[in-house]
Amino acid sequence: MTTMSTATDETAPKLPRPPLGARPIVELTGVTAGYRGQSALDGISLALPGGCMVAVVGPNGSGKSTLLKLLLGLVVPWSGMVEVFGQTPRATRRRVGYVPQTGAGDWSFPVTVGEVVMMGRYGRLGLFSRPGRLDRMAVAAALEQVGMAEHMDEQVGELSGGQRQRVFLARALAQQPELLLLDEPLVGVDAVTEQDVYGLLAGLRDRGVTVLFTTHDLSTLADHFDLAVFLNRRVVAFGRPEDVVTEEHLRTAYGPRMSLVQIGGRFFAVDTGAHHD
């Protein structure tokens, strides 16, 4: 079993983690956005501090992916303001890494693992520049971190879903981001990969990288995240996991069929099948 390395470059500066009340690096104020005339987010306001792991939780269609796309500058809000590092998302795109959902994109064409990860360096290259030694070193280091160094020359289309997700994570790491956005990155991966990913992200967080992670898994919030956002087209609740994960917030975010069950100190969302008119 290939495992990820939680070690990071010893030459990189270890940044102190700021308090949760520090100046936000992500701010959304009264933001409404959507697609083809249908809103996905309605008037949301949110401020996220730097150097934290933040979970974004909500049902399908709640606007989680739209939130990430707003921060990437891929979606323009219909109203309201979005700022990343105090600037527009497009102005800070090079400072933001992104890991899409498993299966996003068509990888059937011939491209190697190394070539995919090198895509994370393109934002740092000039228009006509070619990758140099530092770029190749960054790619090799990123693949080593996710336990995929030995697969560098393999075709991405031949990898398993879990291996491909590791490659997408390596591509984001090669960019050396200050803000890392992950859209349900653990769907379909094995338990070892899940723990490896959480360990790697915790190491990045401890070095000052802000991690924003969409998920359906409530049981991981207290163990791995500093803050949690419950989202369903608007912000239902935002704060520390122990304050956010409540029966009231769960029902508001997921609807009356869902109940919160506590087992051994961990919380699980359970579909009770009960309908309320």
In the chain, domain spans: 24-271
- Phi, psi (deg, nearest 5) at residue 10: -65, -20
Report residue 274's pLDDT band, with 50, 70 and 90 as the boundaries.
very low
Q: What's the mean pLDDT in 33-50?
A: 94
Q: What is the pLDDT of residue 272?
A: 58
C-alpha span between 23 and 48 (Å, rounded): 8
C-alpha span between 23 and 50 (Å, rounded): 7
Q: What is the pLDDT of residue 217?
A: 82
For the chain, where are the E strands, in sequence order? Answer: 24-35, 38-49, 53-57, 79-84, 96-99, 179-183, 210-215, 227-231, 235-239, 258-263, 266-271
Q: What is the pLDDT of residue 248?
A: 86
Residue 150 has pLDDT above 60, yes or no: yes
Whether the CB-CB separation of 99 and 181 falls below 8 Å is answered with yes
- Residue ranges in 175-239 assigned as alpha helix (H): 191-206, 221-224
C-alpha span between 66 and 114 (Å, rounded): 29
User: What is the fold of 24-271?
Assistant: Rossmann fold (3.40.50)
pLDDT tens-digit series, residues 54-82: 999 988 889 999 999 999 999 999 999 99
Q: What is the pLDDT of residue 205?
A: 94
Residue 16 has pLDDT above 70, yes or no: no
Residue 260 has pLDDT above 50, yes or no: yes
